Copies of this chain bind each other. A is one copy, B any other.
Amino acid sequence: MTDNADNALNALYPVLAALPAAANQRLQQHAQVVSVPAGAVVFDELQACQGFPFVLSGSLRVVKAAPNGRELPLYRVTPGETCIISSACLLGHAPYNARGIAETETRLLLLPNADFQALLGEAAFRDFIFQLFSERIADLMQLIEEVAFRKLDQRLAALLLGKGQRLHVTHQQLADELGSVREIVSRLLKGFAEQGLVALSREQVDILDPAGLRRVAAG
């Protein structure tokens, strides 16, 4: 690991900076910086988990892939966060059960399995992982609720909210985010537009009536 990456790492993951010298040294000796281009598949279903990734820059999108090629986004991993799927795989000695894709050009610090396990011996690090575990669990529960019970218009309305008044996205991108297809999103957006909730233009959605959208989202 370069000094440069080391600095970035400690800034992003304060918990590492606080580690005892020995642990830190071990990390520096064995961790490996890799850079992956946008769109690259960093890990995939059924694949054995090779190491634990810290995200230095860029971001990972973790998705569940359907047999027919569609994908349902589970969560994102941004710098300073970690990937619970990776933790779970390493801890449970199980293969991955989701796919990790670099959203943009992404730099990762890959920590080999054995060193990750050793790092878990440090109380501070263990607590850090624990904390992220429990946050993600809540996210996953939310996701289960959405896919099992919510209709697509509700989910779309929710997706549009909380990202400012003007969104620069294509219908396809929205569809991907929902695990659906472009035509349906277009259809629903048209409905929203007819109700005066949004205004549509190329690669752009303007929120006209946030309260109305919230009402739709709430079902």
Interface residue ranges, A against B (CB under 8 Å): 64, 66-67, 70, 72, 74, 84-85, 87-89, 91-92, 94, 97-98, 120, 123, 126, 130-131, 133-135, 137-138, 140-145, 147-149, 179, 219
Contact = CB atoms under 8 A, between A and B. Distances in A.
Contacts of A142: 97
18 contacts: A67-B149, A70-B149, A72-B144, A85-B137, A87-B134, A88-B133, A88-B135, A88-B137, A88-B138, A91-B131, A91-B134, A92-B134, A98-B141, A120-B130, A133-B133, A140-B140, A143-B144, A148-B179
B67 A97 contact: no
Given A67-B149, A126-B126, A149-B66, A92 B138 contact: yes
B137 A84 contact: yes
- The number of times this chain is found in the oligomer is 2
A66 B148 contact: yes
Contact of A74 (B120, B123, B144, B219): B144
Contacts of A64: 141, 144-145, 148-149
Nearest to A142: B97
User: Could you tell me the dominant secondary structure of chain A's interface residues?
Assistant: helix
A66 B141 CA distance: 12
A89 B138 CA distance: 8
B133 A140 contact: no
A126 B67 CA distance: 37
Contacts of A131: 91-92
A88 B91 CA distance: 17
Which of A67, A137, A140 has the most chain B CB within a 10 Å cutoff? A137
